[in-house]
Amino acid sequence: MRWEVVVLLALAAVISYVDRINLATALPEIRKSLPLSPASSGVLLSSFFWVYTFLQIPAGWIVDRYGVKWTFALGLVLWSAVSASTALATSFRALIATRVLLGFGEAVVTPGAMCYIRRNFPEKLRGLAIGIFLSGTKWGPAIGAPVAATLVAAYGWKPMFVLTGLGGLIWLLPWFAVMRRDAPAGAVSHSASTNGLAASDAASWKGILSTPIIWGTLLGTFCYNYFVYFCMTWLPTYFKDRHGLSLAGSGWFTFLSFGGMATIAMLAGFAADSLIARGWDAVTVRKSFTLAGFLVASSAALAAFSDSRAVALFLAVFSLSGLGLATANYWGLTQTLMPGSAIGRVAGIQNMAANLAGIAAPWLTGIMVQYTGKFDAPLMAIGFWMAIGIASYTFLVRRVEGANIELSL
């Protein structure tokens, strides 16, 4: 039932991202009762990632060692309870504490899902499987923004946290019904390497970290997610402050942006799989889709040069949706080029880089907005990071024939 499991992993990602974005959606209302400057708001929005980011490698080791079933379930119980408890926060410090604990609970999501997919799907199906899972990380913000906005408008921000937090526990029922057995620790299906990097499914930390592939991947992943987390944390405020959209209007445009990204992520993963199944080189295909996504996403910077609301809203939807071309394929490229049984650790390292952007993007955006009074500098910063990402995947993330990752656990 591997496809059913992937769908449930995607639904868990939706739940986790709803619980991440609900703070950004509620922030304009929270600031009415807790006065927060743009800079302190940026600190609050980034606090989720302080612990979450650096737990990615330990979480990857845990799922490599113990499997996905129970680690995922326990993580969901913890983060759902913590998200609901945000309603009890009455100070800036209390809000910070709930976000830090939320990050602790959600640390297992990406390493666990990537470990399961690598163990259970061959190369020609992996792009679609990753695309389905990662679509959940986009549908989460897409669904969460309007739902949270509606609940805040109807009941206030505190009941919204209770409802979105505890509602996620329903996921456990189908999870235990479908996930009746887990892959044994260390098991890797379809683990034969075709990338010239490893002839075995085992690799040491030294071997993993000694290849330029991983460093190019980490830098490119940071760049990709800088844009994503800018959108997750500041997009509602940007729409409201710069273009005068209501909270509900901001929520729906966030839905369109992330919903478009989720849809294109699945289609691009499927398209890449189809080309690979026809005999095209997997590295070339996935790399091409990745570079195309970064190129389209760089169009977001153009909004800094226009005062038109229509132009800005179009670019927000177009650029983030276009980044979906890279979503499944940049993760699929990692799985193609790196050894199989280490994929939990590799996914942990890669997701740590992704979430360093979660710390940097909201924090730096808050500083730039506070000191300039505008969103022009943050938008131009997105163009800069997209250019760095294109360079990373062009020159560093490539097959090196004859290279071999040192074998040893």
Residues 6+ apart with CB under 8 A from 392: 216, 217, 219, 220, 223
**Does residue 392 carry a pLDDT above 90?**
yes
Sorted by where each starts, the structural domains of the chain and their CATH numbers stand as 2-181+203-395 (1.20.1250.20)
pTM of the model: 0.74
- Mean residue pLDDT of the chain comes to 83
Statement: residue 296 has pLDDT above 90 = yes
- b vs e for 125-152, b when ≥16 Cβ sit within 10 Å of the residue's Cβ? bbbbbbbbbbbbbbbbbbbbbbbbbebb
Question: If pLDDT is split at 50, 70 and 90, which confidence band does 403 have?
Answer: very low
pLDDT > 90? residue 21: no
For 3, 282, 293, 323, 335, the CA distances from 277, given in Å and listed in that order, are 18, 9, 22, 23, 16
Q: Judge whether residue 354 has pLDDT over 80.
A: yes
What is residue 274's predicted lDDT score, i.e. its pLDDT? 94
Task: Name the band, by pLDDT with cuts 50, 70 and 90, for residue 348.
Answer: confident
Average pLDDT over residues 268-272: 93
Summarize pLDDT for 186-245 with one digit per residue, the tens.
444 444 343 434 434 345 677 677 778 889 999 999 999 999 989 887 887 788 777 777
Q: Which range, of 56-70, 218-232, 240-254, averages the lowest pLDDT?
A: 240-254
The vertex-67 CA angle with 61 and 68, nearest 5°, equals 105
Q: What are the structure tokens assigned to 144, written together? A: 């969460």
Chain centre to alpha carbon of residue 110: 8
Q: What is the mean pLDDT of residues 178-188?
A: 59
State the pLDDT at residue 351: 84
Q: E strands, 64-216, where?
A: none
Q: What is the pLDDT of residue 204?
A: 66
